[in-house]
Amino acid sequence: MATPELRHMLRDDDLNHDEQKQVLELAIKFRANRFYKQPFAGPQAVAVLFDKPSTRTRSSFSIGVAELGGYPLVIDKSGSQLGRGEPVADTARVLDRMAYGVVWRTFGQDRVEEMAKYSTHPVVNALTDDFHPCQILADFQTIAEHRGGVDNLHNQTIAYLGDAANNMANSYLLGGAVAGMDVRVAGPQGFLPRPDIVEDAKRIAAETGGSITVTTDAKAAADGADCVFTDTWVSMGEEAEYAIRSKPFWDYQVNDELMALAKPDAIFQHCLPAYRGKEVTSSVIDGPQSVVWDEAENRLHAQKALLTWLTGKARGDDSLLA
Ligand code: CP
Ligand code: NVA
């Protein structure tokens, strides 16, 4: 038994290079054997909270916690006192007395940070306005499975096109830097990532052998890429900006012409939900290079791996780390 170490997953660089690899290897094992480990046998409860809608995250954490032997306590904003303004710190201390971990989809990153500050169990960011780290683990598991394993991730060039100021863009920057990938993020002026996130990604990439490129040139970003990603142009909470946001992104649509610039065997991923005819054409997302259903399935395996790994750290139980 190692020394217990409370760890959270609030942003993609909360795991270092070797730790991200451990989690991804574990995820691949969970894909091969859904009941590989059951750290929450008892069952022990994991609270799964939603302040925004969800299909994939809700189903993968609900089913995943159950498959880990635990009890998923799923609470929506409309059904919780958190939704009526109860302080995060109070909610955190109550849940901490009952549950063995908290998974939360919310708006501000400061809210998951506050939850973690008052928790003695792992807290996982299930999407904030700033990051979506669980999605990135699933996406990288999918690349590993299609492109020569976890040890080959650092050789990959990934290109994300579209709203480059959103949570997915930020998470590709940080997560890709941790993996040692060559990360390219392209979007129009006014929709580029925050400088502090780009700086963090560059600092990490300098340590892992990766590289970070932020550009307004969609074609340059796609050129020779191993994997092309996009995401909705209108994220949850931005619905009022729909009219403004339908204009600037057309040059970043992932269509056949754009995919033809990537490597001939490049794969296409999208975190979903997808808006066909907007950020991606049907010909791409429903075509032979698309691996979006593997990607969606891997949410289940990657998050089970993450919860197992974090729990192993929190309990000092090395047997849960591999
Ligand atoms: N990709 C993703 O997080 O999907 P949901 O919003 O359906 O959870
Ligand atoms: N950027 C999107 C991701 C959805 C999974 C959003 O935040 O709505």
Cα–Cα distance measured from residue 29 to residue 95, given in angstroms and rounded to the nearest whole number: 30
Q: Residue 216 contacts by C-beta under 8 Å, 6 or more apart in sequence?
A: 186, 187, 188, 189, 192
Structure tokens at 295: 């990607």
pLDDT means over runs of 10, the chain (322 residues): 95 98 98 98 98 98 98 95 95 98 98 98 98 99 98 98 98 99 98 98 98 98 98 97 92 98 98 98 98 98 98 97 96
A 10 A CB-CB count for 62 gives 17
Among the listed residues 218, 307, 12, the one whose alpha carbon sits nearest the alpha carbon of residue 130: 12
Classify 125 as helix, strand or coil. Answer: strand
Paired residues of 213 in beta bridges: 184
Strand, coil or helix: 157: strand
298 lines ligand 1 (CB under 6 A): no
- Distance between CA atoms of 133 and 179, rounded to whole angstroms? 13
With contact defined as beta carbons under 8 Å apart, do 18 and 154 qualify? no
| pLDDT at site 39 | 98
Q: Does 49 sit in the ligand 2 pocket, CB within 6 Å? A: no
By the 8 A CB rule, do 134 and 301 touch? Answer: no
Tokens representing 162 are 């579209």
Phi, psi of 194 (to 5 degrees): -60, 140
- Does 266 contact ligand 2 (Cβ within 6 A)? no
The owner of tokens 């894909």 is 31
ipTM score: 0.99
What is the C-alpha radius of gyration for the chain, rounded to an integer number of angstroms?
Answer: 19
Which of 54, 55, 132, 278, when mutated, tests ligand 2's pocket best, judged by the most ligand atoms within 8 Å of its CB?
A: 132
Ligand 1 in reach of 183 Cβ (< 6 A): no
> Of 94, 117, 84, 87, which Cα lies nearest the Cα of 73?
94
What distances in angstroms separate CA 166 from CA 99, 130, 159, 232, one per listed residue? 31, 7, 15, 9
161 has which bridge partners?
186, 230
CA of residue 235 to ligand 2 center, whole Å: 5
Q: 275 CA to middle of ligand 1, Å?
A: 13
Q: Which ligand is nearest to the CA of 56?
A: 1
Q: Which residues of 223-252 are buried (b: 16+ CB within 10 A; e: fewer)?
A: eebbbbbbbbbbbbeeeeeeeebeebbeeb
Distance between CA 100 and CA 175 in Å, rounded?
26
85: left (phi over 0), alpha (psi -120 to 50) or beta: left
Strand spans (E) along the chain: 45-50, 71-76, 102-105, 123-125, 157-161, 182-186, 211-215, 227-230, 267-270
For ligand 2, atom 7, which residue shows the shortest CA distance?
A: 235
183: three-class secondary structure by DSSP: strand
| Helix pair 133-146, 167-179: axis angle to 10 deg | 50
Tell me the pLDDT tens digit for each residue of 246-290. 899 999 999 999 999 999 999 999 999 999 999 999 999 999 999
Instruction: Please indicate whether residue 60, judged by its CB atom, sits closer than 6 Å to ligand 2.
Output: no
Give the architecture-level CATH label for domain 135-295: 3-Layer(aba) Sandwich (3.40)
How far, in Å, from the CA of 18 to the mean position of ligand 2? 27
β partners of residue 184:
159, 213
Neighbours of 188 (CB within 10 A): 18
The residues carrying an active-site annotation are 105, 132, 135, 231, 271, 299
Annotated domain spans of the chain: 8-131+299-320, 135-295
Considering every ligand atom shown, identify the ligand nearest to the alpha carbon of residue 128 and give its number: 2
| Beta bridge mates, 71 | 45
What pLDDT, on the 0 to 100 scale, is given for residue 46?
98
- Ligand found nearest the CA of 48: 1
Minimum CA distance residue for ligand 1 atom 7: 55
Which is nearest to 24 in space by CA: 128, 152, 127, 184?
152
Domain 8-131+299-320 has CATH 3.40.50.1370: yes
Q: Cβ(51)–Cβ(77) under 8 Å?
A: yes
